[in-house]
Amino acid sequence: MKIAIHFRAVLFFSLLALCSCNAQQTVSTPMATNTPDLCGPSAIPGQVEKVNKNMREFDDASLIAANTPRGQLPPVISNMQRIRRETEDQVVPSCLAVLKQIQLVYMKTEVETLVAFLGGANQDILNKGTALAHQQHNQYALEYARLLGLTTAHPVTNTPNILLTKTPQPLLTATASK
């Protein structure tokens, strides 16, 4: 009887040791994953375009707002706020966090300036809001260009349209001319 109990105990502890060895081997063996690197060179353009999709839609709405009479602005502003909320909810890889943050700040400034206009704010406040939004839009364009390896063909000043061209360099270089 003692031998049977002793045998069962030895068998039990042997199996337990064997199981723990297998568990250690499983833990220490690295597993290959199929998770793509969303910040890798081949994935960046597609990820940037997902973020830029909202910016393009917002810019279209902003253009409409700029050409809409004050009394007809509320639904246009509401649409811009919808786009901004969708942008806030969009999940982006860490390498696009700055782009998204600049985008959201610009959108907020643009909406707040339009709401101020709707509320009858003085021209000085509206001019400052418009200038700030324009500056933030330029910051977005620079970050967009940097992420895609583009360079500006014209200096970034107060001009809203920045011409971008492909370059093999990963860093953004702005050219200055006077």
Tens of pLDDT, residue by residue over 22-70, are 444 545 555 666 777 889 888 999 999 999 999 999 999 999 999 999 9
Question: Whole-angstrom Cα distance, residue 72 to residue 152?
Answer: 37
**Alpha helix (H) residue ranges in the chain:** 2-28, 44-66, 73-89, 97-118, 123-148
Question: Whole-angstrom Cα distance, residue 154 to residue 162?
Answer: 7
φ, ψ (nearest 5 deg) of residue 164: -120, 140
Task: Give the pTM.
Answer: 0.67
Give the count of beta carbons closer than 10 Å to the beta carbon of residue 2.
6
